[in-house]
């Protein structure tokens, strides 16, 4: 069995982040796309490493450097949990290769273990880029004994195990529940969305709780120490392995062994459980309900645009991954609005110690959440092998693109309306501020709907094996995120840099610029020949 695990892992890991395709692929476009993805991953990794080192340095300066390790461990665990929650089901129960593998002389256990190894190696990256710089900086500042470095290194490799276990357990439960149901995708989307929102709210709760306990404060070293200690205590209570890790790397061997046990044992138990039920779950996922008893009924006719829109909507909701990755921003918008509504804007401004920040910043915060969420960023790529169908049909480019943009609007607008209504009730804003709160996010929703089409036309990917390749890793998606973020940050910074009424002028300019950009992109999109998109 070890040999089988070795062969399977090798095959899966050789193409991690597309390495094998870059090495052997002859399609220049695909190679460049993968290289761009790699470069982006490296860039993000460097950014996280620098950020981690900087935070550790700052905390070590005021004498609470070991808390930095705790914070970083919690951050890594949360990141792995959040990202693995989406991936766990699709990696573990990848049906694309299931038929081929299960027909070979391989044990299901070997297949399962090799897939866990793949997930582990991917997530180890988070652990390395965040914990290693933190550990090095702490080592330089606090000068611990030699055992610290040794235990830290082991700890870094053990760290991903527990979050993967939790994510896998939750992901497997979701998959197992949905596999028994007719509307598998809908159930998966709802359950995963509830869990994701739960994780986000949970993470907000303990960080908010830590700040709340500090009360009123001016930024002094003592207050920072107190806030840090309180936050650390909160984290220990919510995620006990952090306490074991912190104690372990600073000299308590028993605590470190406890950390190792809490990481390794649940992981092994989960692997055992998944491999025991693996064939049954995959078979259930494989099965498609067929009635074979259809009788002709009265049919309804629609216009071509309506027909395209209905089809696009069905396509969207047929993919839980697509929905999860594109709806999360809009859902966060609603979560934010509910939080402000329940907490009160004034209290939040008190905590942040910047008067008016919520009122002035809210339009951009909402716009930011919209800019990370458009369904159109990958809508053309998602056509995949069916792209020939659209091109062969008697429909214009405008009709095709309009139907795709309508899906984004269908998803975004209800969340936008709920969020804006709640915020207007919760916040004491002037008429102008209320107008910006309504107009700015709406314009950004329109902009990202159109811009997603533009970018996806320029960077389409049709030869994908998994939807994750286009929904999470495509060039169009990455560029859309970057451009969206920058387009929100720049005016936001300017608004905070100037006083009123100049900030209103910035708002007007921003609104006009976004509207003009939207119209220009929309017009240019409609001139595209679909045959040129390949």
Binding site for another protein (CB under 8 A): 288-296, 298-304, 306-308, 310-311, 314-315, 318, 384-386, 388-389, 391-396, 529, 531-532, 534
207 vs 305 by CB, closer to another protein: 305
Burial grade of 95 (CB within 10 A; 0-12, 13-18, 19 or more): exposed
Nearest to 189 by CA among 85, 61, 277: 85
- Of 218 and 293, the one with the shorter C-beta distance to another protein is 293
In the complex, minimum distance from the CB of residue 297 to another protein, in angstroms, rounded to a whole number: 8
Helix-, strand-, coil-residue percentages of the chain, each rounded to 5:
80, 0, 20
| Least distance between another protein and beta carbon 129 (Å) | 37
> Is the Cβ–Cβ distance between 134 and 242 less than 8 Å?
no
Closest separation between CB of residue 389 and another protein, Å? 7
User: Minimum Å distance from CB 186 to another protein?
Assistant: 12
Task: State the minimum distance, in angstroms, from the CB of residue 203 to another protein.
Answer: 34
Closest to another protein by CB, 307 or 517: 307
- CA dist 163 and 119 (Å) reads 11
Question: With respect to another protein, which residue has the nearer C-beta, 140 or 306?
Answer: 306
Strand, helix or coil at 298? coil
In the complex, the smallest distance separating the C-beta of residue 393 from another protein, rounded to whole angstroms, is 5
Q: Which is nearer to another protein, 314 or 458 (CB)?
A: 314
Nearer to another protein, 302 or 430 (CB): 302
Least distance in Å: CB of 380 to another protein?
A: 15
Distance CA 229, CA 241 (A): 17
Please name which of 364, 377, 369 lies closest in space to residue 489, comparing C-alpha atoms. Answer: 364
Please, what is the angle between helix 95-102 and helix 253-286, to 10°?
A: 80
Contact 476, 452 (CB under 8 A): yes
| Nearest distance in Å: CB 331, another protein | 23
Among residues 66 and 467, whose Cβ is nearest to another protein?
A: 467
Q: How far is the CB of 390 from another protein (least distance, A)?
A: 10
Query: Using CA atoms, how far apart are residues 102 and 98, in angstroms rounded to an integer?
Result: 6
Interaxial angle between packed helices 161-179 and 65-92, expressed in degrees from 0 to 180 and rounded to the nearest 10: 30
Q: Is the preceding omega at residue 60 within 30 degrees of 0, hence cis?
A: no
Per the CB < 8 A criterion, the answer to whether 68 and 138 are in contact is yes
Nearer to another protein, 225 or 315 (CB): 315
CA angle in degrees (0–180, nearest 5) for 419-425-429: 100
Alpha helices by DSSP H, listed for 287-381, are 304-317, 320-343, 345-352, 357-371
Pairwise CA distance, residues 456 & 381, whole Å: 7
Q: What minimum distance in Å lies between the beta carbon of 503 and another protein?
A: 47
Closest Cα to residue 524, out of 456, 462, 450, 436? 450
Whichever of 216 and 298 has its CB closer to another protein, that residue is: 298
> What does the alpha-carbon distance between residue 107 and residue 33 come to, in Å, rounded to a whole number?
35
- Name which of 309 and 436 has its Cβ closer to another protein: 309
Radius of gyration in angstroms for the set of CA atoms belonging to the chain, rounded to a whole number: 25
């Amino acid at each position: 069995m070890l040999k089988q695990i070795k062969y399977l892992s090798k095959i899966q890991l050789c193409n991690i982040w597309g390495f094998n395709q870059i090495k052997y692929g002859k399609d220049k476009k695909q190679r460049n796309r993968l290289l761009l993805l790699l470069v982006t991953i490296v860039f993000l990794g460097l950014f996280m490493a620098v950020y981690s080192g900087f935070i550790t340095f700052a905390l070590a300066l005021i004498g609470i450097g070991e808390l930095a390790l705790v914070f970083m461990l919690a951050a890594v665990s949360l990141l792995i949990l959040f990202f693995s929650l989406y991936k766990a089901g699709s990696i573990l129960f990848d049906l694309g290769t299931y038929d081929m593998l299960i027909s070979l002389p391989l044990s299901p256990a070997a297949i399962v273990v090799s897939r866990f190894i793949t997930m582990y190696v991917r997530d180890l990256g988070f652990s390395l880029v965040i914990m290693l710089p933190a550990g090095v900086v702490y080592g330089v500042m606090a000068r611990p004994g030699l055992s610290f470095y040794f235990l830290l290194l082991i700890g870094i490799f053990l760290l991903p195990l527990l979050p993967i276990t939790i994510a896998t357990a939750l992901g497997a439960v979701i998959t197992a529940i949905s596999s028994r149901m007719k509307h598998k995708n809908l159930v998966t989307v709802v359950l995963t969305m509830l869990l994701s929102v739960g994780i986000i709210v949970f993470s907000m709760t303990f960080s908010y709780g830590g700040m709340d306990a500090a009360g009123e404060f001016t930024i002094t070293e003592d207050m920072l120490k107190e806030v840090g200690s309180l936050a650390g205590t909160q984290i220990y209570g919510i995620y006990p392995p952090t306490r074991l890790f912190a104690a372990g790397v600073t000299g308590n061997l028993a605590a470190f062994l406890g950390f190792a046990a809490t990481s390794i044992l649940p992981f092994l138990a989960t692997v055992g459980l998944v491999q025991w039920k693996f064939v049954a779950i995959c078979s259930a996922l494989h099965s498609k309900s067929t009635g074979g008893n259809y009788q002709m009924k009265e049919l309804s006719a629609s216009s071509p645009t309506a027909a395209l829109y209905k089809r696009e909507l069905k396509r969207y909701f047929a993919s839980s991954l697509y929905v999860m990755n594109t709806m999360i921003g809009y859902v966060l918008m609603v979560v934010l609005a509910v939080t402000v509504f329940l907490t009160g804007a004034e209290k939040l401004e008190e905590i942040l110690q910047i008067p008016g920040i919520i009122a002035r910043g809210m339009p951009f915060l909402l716009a930011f959440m919209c800019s990370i969420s458009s369904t159109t960023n990958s809508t053309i790529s998602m056509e995949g092998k069916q792209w020939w169908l659209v091109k062969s049909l008697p429909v214009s480019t405008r009709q095709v693109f309009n139907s795709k943009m309508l899906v984004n609007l269908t998803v975004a607008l209800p969340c936008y309306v709920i969020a804006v209504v709640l915020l207007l009730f919760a916040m004491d804003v002037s008429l102008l501020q209320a107008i910006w709160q309504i107009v700015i996010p709406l314009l950004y929703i329109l902009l990202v709907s159109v811009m997603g089409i533009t970018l996806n036309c320029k960077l389409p990917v049709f030869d994908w094996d998994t939807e994750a390749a286009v929904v999470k890793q495509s060039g169009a998606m990455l560029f859309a995120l970057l451009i969206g973020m920058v387009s929100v940050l720049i005016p936001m910074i300017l608004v905070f840099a100037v006083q009123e009424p100049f900030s209103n002028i910035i708002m007007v300019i921003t609104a006009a610029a976004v509207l003009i950009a939207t119209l220009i992109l929309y017009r240019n999109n409609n001139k595209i020949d679909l045959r040129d998109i390949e």
